[in-house]
Chains A and B, each alone.
Chain A
Amino acid sequence: QKEVEQNSGPLSVPEGAIASLNCTYSDRGSQSFFWYRQYSGKSPELIMFIYSNGDKEDGRFTAQLNRASQYISLLIRDSKLSDSATYLCAVHNAGGTSYGKLTFGQGTILTVHP
């Protein structure tokens, strides 16, 4: 089992719709969880991070964490053409250190069409 798995894509949604991206992780000791967006040929850029169970909202984006189910999701409301990108889920485990390691899922390609 991979440490971090994302739902298989690609995902295609119409402009203005809600896009839902999902991710599961295997290490129950993981402390924090991140969503990155990556445009083709560019580096990953941080969208949101979440530490606590429940929802965290930032503008059109909502991250959800369910530690019991080891499940993370990202909802994008009112999807725009510029949201078309690869979305990477990442899980951080400090392992008792001050730095830790970030483990990524394989990414989900999202296409928003007119």
Chain B
Amino acid sequence: NAGVTQTPKFQVLKTGQSMTLQCAQDMNHNSMYWYRQDPGMGLRLIYYSASEGTTDKGEVPNGYNVSRLNKREFSLRLESAAPSQTSVYFCASKQSGGYTFGSGTRLTVV
């Protein structure tokens, strides 16, 4: 069992470029989440999906879109990347005893 898998692990984008961060879980969890982590700020919720077919904004949704493709997959899209989106992005899925996180995507926008 892989748990939560994120791709890619590293990415460098130029300002204005677009990209999609992929996330998949094999634990049959209903709820999935995207967080970003910046130095000294903990993890901040970008978007979440309570179940297949539903998505909702979190604390910092501006500049992002998401798609819950099916129960397994939850993708995060940056339509026009900005330097302020340089961060580490974590996908998570919810279990009864807490959240399981993917290994993260380190994104740099230059």
Please give the residue numbers on chain A whose beta carbons come within 8 Å of chain B beta carbons, in ascending order.
4, 6, 34, 42-46, 49, 88, 90, 97-99, 101-107
CA gap between A107 and B43 in the complex, in Å: 9
Number of A-B contacts (CB under 8 A): 54
Q: Contacts of B53 on A, CB cut-off 8 Å?
A: none
Q: Contacts of B98 on A, CB cut-off 8 Å?
A: 34, 46, 49
CA gap between A99 and B59 in the complex, in Å: 16
For residue B78, CB closer than 8 A to chain A, the reply is: no
| Chain B residue at smallest Cβ distance from A44 | B101
Q: At the interface, is chain A mostly helix, strand, loop or mixed?
A: strand
- B103 and A98: CB pair below 8 A? no
Q: Contacts of A97 on B, CB cut-off 8 Å?
A: 50
- B30 and A103: CB pair below 8 A? no
**A98-B50 CB under 8 A given contacts A34-B98, A44-B90, A46-B98:** yes
- What does the 1/0 interface line of B27-55 toward A look like (CB < 8 Å)? 00011010100001111110010110000
Q: Closest approach, in angstroms, between the C-beta of A74 and any C-beta of chain B? A: 14
CA gap between A101 and B50 in the complex, in Å: 10
Q: Contacts of A45 on B, CB cut-off 8 Å?
A: 101
For residue B77, CB closer than 8 A to chain A, the reply is: no
